[in-house]
Structures are given as C-alpha cells and as structure tokens.
Amino acid sequence: MMTNIKSVISGIGGYVPDYILTNDELSRMVDTSDEWITTRVGIKERHLLKDPHLGTSYLGIKAVEDLLQRTGVKPEEIDLVICATSTADNQFPSTASKIAYGCNLKNAFAFDIQAACSGFITGLTIADGYIKSGYCKKIIVLGAEKMSAIVDYQQRETCPLFGDGAGAALVEGTTEDVGIMDYIMHTDGTGYTHLHMKSGGSISPASHETVDRREHYVYQEGAHVFKHAVSDMSNVCKELLKKNNLTINDIDWLVPHQANLRIIEAVARLTEIPAERVIVNIQKYGNTSAASIPLSLWDNQNRLKKGDKIILTSFGAGFIWGAIYLKWAIE
C-alpha cells in the first residue's frame, strides 16, 4: 500500500434535468399542497427526467461530461468508474459500463454499487482503497438516480420527496495534506422492513400481481426512518470527530444527505454545527438519493476553498450510514 498517498476530490461535475416539478404542480396530481410539503420536508421543487426512453445512465453521462470539461481531464486518463445508484438502467449490465461507453472512457473498468442514499460516500471509500494501492490514478465516483422511475405519484407521503440528477467526482492521489482523512461506515440490516422496494428482485419477481399491488415503488415508513436517520448520522459525525481529535469549531462545512430539511436541521443541532456551516439545497432538488451529496458539492463549490475541513454524512436503506472527514483540495 502507498500509505503516503491521500485520495482527493480534484473535480466535481453535475447534472439535473431541465424539467422542474413544483409543489404547486404536484398538488394537482395528488392530495397535497405547497405549504404541507414545505413545512414537513423543506422541498419547493425537484428536477425530473421526463423522457421515458432515457434512464440513469443519461444523467450520469451528462454529469461526467461536465466533470471532464471542468477539469480538462481526457477520457482515456480515467482508470475506473464507480456508479452508486438504486435506479440502474437495467438489472444488468451495470449502469457504470453504459456511462463509461457513453463518455468514451475506453481505458476504464466500471461497476455499480448499491448502498442506497449512502452510495456516493461508500463509493469514495472504495476509490480511496484503489488510489492508495496504486492500482488506479484517476477514478470517477458518481451518484446517479432517476428516482422518478420508482416513485408512486399516487402516494402523497413519498412522491413529493424525490428528484432526478447525477453528481460526479474525480478522485486521484496526492502527497499534500488534503483529501480523504478518515471515514466510518455502518450497516444494520434490521432496518430492511422500514425502507425498501417490495417487488422486482429475486425474492419477489415482477408479475401482474406485483404490478397491480403497486409494489415496484419506494416503500418507506417515514417516522421510523426519520428517527434512525437523525440519530445515526449525528452519532457517526460525533464518532468521527472524536476519533480524529476534532471539535465542531474545526469543521468548516457539514454536507449531509439531502433527504428532509427537518432531518438536516436535527443533525446539525445534535452535532452543534451552526446552520451557516451546513450545506443545504434540498429546496431545489429534493432527495436525489446517491446523487444528493455530490450535487451539493457541485452546487456549492464556489463556497468551498482549499483546505476547508468537511464532513460528508449520509443515511439510506439497508440501513447503511456513515461519515467521511476530508480536507477540500480544489483551489
């Protein structure tokens, strides 16, 4: 292992579709209102990929193209593509392979990971190992989701929450004192029953009956998920701070998964990180699952400066949650 090497995010790209579904329009589709959605989850609008012939790979390709344009990196320089998604184009092949092909990343191998809303930070921990081993020099880690494909727009509790988008990070090595410093990840499989898709996998393959029962959409027990998201994200952030002898005064930015504004505010309160140091853009994009943290970095990169100490934290189905401590590397 090349232990003197640290993994850094050296570039960020992103993409959200043009079509914006507002709360007012949503209230004409299902029994809800702008006030109800805003006060409960803090979302005003979300971007949707309306073309039924385009999937998650399209969003990922657009984000990677933006990343390559911003960084000036050539497609052939990319060694690996890790795509975190819960909304893969197909059961197989991997969406990552389609993104690599679409962006002409001809020297990259590619695979998907499934860690729900924690997929992007999970992907970063995997990339960290590949960089430190010396096997890869340039890796693209992306979160890409077409959540509108698995949202039931007859369910007022879930349909206001989710949006479509993709964010991509370029990860490479450095000997500078920046980059990924540490991380802690957890999984508790007892959370399965509270957040999952009931059918469509090997345990309950698609059938006329499963379609009729509307079992191919996100199923969520909101109160239970809310409680665990708040406690688990705040606890893992405090665990990571203690492990690295950091106080809240050392942290410049908290970048939480954008699931629900009340969850974000509760995590900030429990970790005692002031609101002005918490990145929030849920009002514009909704919950984009694995794409939410890279989209938050992409959307706010003009506010970040080299050397900033940042905590990324997420919680998702599985339950899987964790936090990454990094020093920002981009000027």
pTM over the 0.95 mark: yes
pLDDT band (50, 70, 90) for residue 200: very high
Can you point out the beta strands (E) in 188-269? 195-197, 218-220, 253-256
Write out the two tokens for 298. 């992409």
CA proximity to 278, closest of 269, 286, 287, 289: 269
Rg (CA), the chain: 19
**Could you tell me which residues come within 8 angstroms of residue 105 by beta carbon, excluding any fewer than 6 positions away?**
64, 75, 76, 78, 81, 99, 140
Contact 256, 267 (CB under 8 A): yes
Q: Per residue in 288-313, pLDDT tens? A: 999 999 999 999 999 999 999 999 99
Query: From CA 326, how far away is CA 304, in angstroms rounded?
Result: 12
pLDDT at residue number 69: 98
Average pLDDT over residues 82-104: 98
Q: At CB < 8 A and 24+ separation, what contacts does 51-57 make?
A: 55/87, 55/89, 55/95, 55/146, 55/149, 56/85, 56/87, 56/88, 56/89, 56/95, 56/144, 56/145, 56/146, 56/166, 57/89, 57/95, 57/98, 57/99, 57/102, 57/144
244 tagged catalytic: no
pLDDT tens sequence across 35-86: 999 999 999 999 999 999 999 999 999 999 999 999 999 999 999 999 999 9
Which residue is catalytic, options 83, 103, 117, 136?
117
- Asked about 103 being catalytic, the answer comes back as no
At 141 the three-state DSSP class reads strand
**So what's the pLDDT on residue 8?**
98
Would you call 53 exposed, middle or buried from its count of C-beta atoms within 10 A (0-12, 13-18, 19+)?
A: exposed
* pLDDT(2) > 70: no
Catalytic position from the list 83, 103, 257, 260: 257
Average pLDDT over residues 231-237: 98
Query: pLDDT category, 4, cuts 50, 70, 90?
Result: confident
Q: Is 47 one of the catalytic residues?
A: no
Q: In order of start, what are the domains of the chain with their CATH numbers?
A: 6-176 (3.40.47.10), 181-327 (3.40.47.10)
Span 167-197, pLDDT tens digits:
999 999 999 999 999 999 999 999 999 999 9
When pLDDT is averaged across residues 103-116 and rounded to a whole number, the result is 98
Determine the average pLDDT of the residues in 279-287.
98
CB 323 within 8 A of CB 257: no
